[in-house]
Amino acid sequence: MQRPRLQSTFARAVVPVAAGIGFFAVLGLALWGVAALVSGGNNATTDTFGGKYHEVGRTDTFALVIADSGPIVFQDLLGQDRNIVLDHVGSEPQLGWRIYLAYPADRSTDCAIEQIRGTRQFTDCDGRTIDVSDLALPPDGVVPQVSDDGLLTLDLVSDEEDAAVTTVAATGTTGG
């Protein structure tokens, strides 16, 4: 039996292209359906691009680094150009971890700081020398967490943001 053959040049050019477009359209719809099924219809959104947690590393290692070089400034982990400062006080690597926002507590977020190399001090936008303890505190819920095996993780979502996401996920949203 002989295969059917398209007679016109136009048909021989258009039919394979149309079949290819149709194939990719069906494939795209199938992938969209799988993604919708996997997401479970969850409408929750977040303003942070990174994850909720930032794994720093071993507490003993970072406690030594901070003791030798001063607090560590992490660039933009919270999003919206909100840098954070990780500090450690005390001799016990499992205890004494603090997070600060990278601007003075008595200034706005626009007042950038610069660390004085190898110290626990910073220079702010007005040229003042300030200690790490003079920096702004993060929102409630943005905290360092130490696991039993000595791993340091930063929880980067405030209690307020976490509650908002939970509420949206539980109630859903309506377009309006």
Above 70 in pLDDT, residue 91? yes
Q: Three-class SS of residue 53? A: strand
What is the structure's pLDDT at 23? 98
Percent of the chain with pLDDT over 90: 55
Q: How far is it, in rounded angstroms, from Cα 117 to Cα 136?
A: 20
Above 80 in pLDDT, residue 118? yes
What is the structure's pLDDT at 141? 86
Above 60 in pLDDT, residue 7? yes
Above 90 in pLDDT, residue 19? yes
Q: How far is it, in rounded angstroms, from Cα 89 to Cα 80?
A: 28
Rg (CA), the chain: 27
Residue-by-residue DSSP string for 66-133: HHHH-PEEESSSSSTT--EEEEE-SS-TTS-EEEEESSBTTS-TT---EE-TTSSEEE-TTS-EEEGG
* N-terminal to C-terminal alpha carbon distance within the chain: 61
In this prediction, residue 2 has a pLDDT band, given cuts at 50, 70 and 90, of confident
- Structure tokens given for 46: 């977040």
Above 90 in pLDDT, residue 65? yes
88 and 67 in contact (C-beta within 8 Å)? yes
Above 60 in pLDDT, residue 168? no
Specify the pTM.
Answer: 0.62
17-22 mean pLDDT: 96
> Residues 28-55: pLDDT tens digits?
999 999 988 887 766 665 554 556 888 9
3-state secondary structure labels for all residues of 123-165: ECCCCCEEEHHHECCCCCCCEEEECCCCEEEEECCCHHHHHHH
What is the structure's pLDDT at 167? 45
Above 80 in pLDDT, residue 104? yes
